[in-house]
Structure 1
């Protein structure tokens, strides 16, 4: 009879932790606002062996949760030849035992939530991404500056939409999974209306989604946004929307990211359509 011992019950050293291959953690200097960001960087399989090749980059919010979702989607989509290889950058925080749920409201919401001054600083976060994080990635890695993707879910999806309207030429594609449109009494829809009135082009591929079994109130905000986006006539705008049937707020995100990556990278896909 064999006996299986837990590491703390054995004289042997603990089992080694699993490490995600081709991944790196990069810590940035604190910002003027005192935000201390950490970047989780996932490199594609060919990165080390093809020194002349540059790669598009997917920047994803809530990296402590969503970096693995993106990196896990990468391999299967590349295998199916529906996306090119790409770099993933998870936007996260430096430090231990952090309260992510509390911290993320500071930078992901463009408007104060319930009057909370610790929220509503998306403009500062976007400035940091544009002026610090993107230049860092494009100087440290072989990142293709001609094709960047911004992605996020929930508050991260709201931030992604805010970033798209605020800097429409910074990202070539955006993925907004279950965006929190209802925040600030549909603040984003008012922001979109201001953008529409400006007459500016929107040269972006946008994938947005909602979960079929999400809170009806929350989903209604997403559907209001979809109605506006689907009927817009922005120059250069390409849009796709999907309801993830049967899924709630968190469970729908993996499928949303998979489908969103396919749509975002369709112009660069090695193959499109059914396999031959």
Structure 2
């Protein structure tokens, strides 16, 4: 009995010693070649944070300027876009370019509330007073964000592209009509066309009536299993594109089969990057290996 008690005491002591040992710590995973840049609060009280991915040759080619892809909702979509870009660049179907995810500085943020303020071009509903500020966000891009990226990261001001999903996709379409010279390519993944009772469709028709050109490439997707009413709005816009006949705009529509609203992002961004960057691709067509 004494031996059993001693054994139990020994084991209990060993368990206590184990429990007292601190848990091992490991370094956090980061995306190689990426940076976070928190910007000073701007005139509208917005505190932006940029998620920046630099091309592999950035350090070794200090005089080179690069195209840049701006991505809305960077806190969600930056990693997805970077992963797809790395694969596409390896296959030489897109050029080297900088990726800038657009987000917000701070902790424990309500991304839903923040993004609704600036990604919607019109009030989202009669009660949503704190929405509809997309033009102010475009101002911030032009006056605060573009100058910084083009100065500090040698981004080419003649080769800007933009991508976004849902409200971000609506913002992409609005940017194309509101300030058509800002970007040379647009990726609208599952854009929220239904906001404001198809407000963006009315905007598109008004722009088409002006006869002004849009010198750009546009890629628009919806997901097969979106909410039916939401997808119907996207299809209305997609069906309208051939009728609008925007001079110089080259576009492509796609429905991502088998996916719901958020699941469409990976394929939408991958195919969208291939499409909008196609004129700059090092190689075109199937692999030559």
Match of 1:117 in 2: 129
Deviations 1:187-224 (A, max 9, x none): 10111111112111111100000001111100000001
Match of 1:103 in 2: 114
2:183 maps to 1:171: yes
Match of 1:19 in 2: 30
Aligned pairs (5 A) from 1:124-273? 124-273=136-285
Of 64, 74, 97, which aligns to 1:86? 97
Contact 1:107 1:119 in 2 (8 A): yes
Of 35, 45, 54, which aligns to 2:46? 35
Matches of 2:124 and 2:250, distance apart in 1: 30
Contact 2:185 2:216 in 1 (8 A): yes
Deviations 1:218-271 (A, max 9, x none): 000000100111332222100011100010100011000000000010000011
Contact 1:154 1:180 in 2 (8 A): yes
Contact 1:78 1:84 in 2 (8 A): yes
Shift of 1:11: 2.8
Shift of 1:10: 4.3
Match of 2:68 in 1: 57
Deviations 1:30-56 (A, max 9, x none): 111111111110111111112122110
Matches of 1:191 and 1:127, distance apart in 2: 19
Normalised TM-score (structure 2):
0.91
Contact 1:230 1:239 in 2 (8 A): no
Report runs of 4+ in structure 1 exceeding 4 Å deviation. none
Name the count of aligned residue pairs.
269
SS in 2 for 1:218: helix
1:271 to 1:28, Cα distance in 2 relative to 1, 3 A: same
Contact 2:39 2:48 in 1 (8 A): yes
1:275 to 1:37, Cα distance in 2 relative to 1, 3 A: same
Long gaps (5+) in structure 2:
1-18
Matches of 1:64 and 1:248, distance apart in 2: 20
Q: Give the greater-gyration-radius structure (CA).
A: 2
Deviations 1:58-84 (A, max 9, x none): 000000001111111111101111000
Normalised TM-score (structure 1):
0.95
Cα root mean square deviation, aligned = 1.2
SS in 2 for 1:185: coil
Contact 2:205 2:244 in 1 (8 A): no
Shift of 1:12: 5.8
Matches of 1:257 and 1:219, distance apart in 2: 18
Matches of 2:113 and 2:38, distance apart in 1: 20
SS in 2 for 1:45: coil
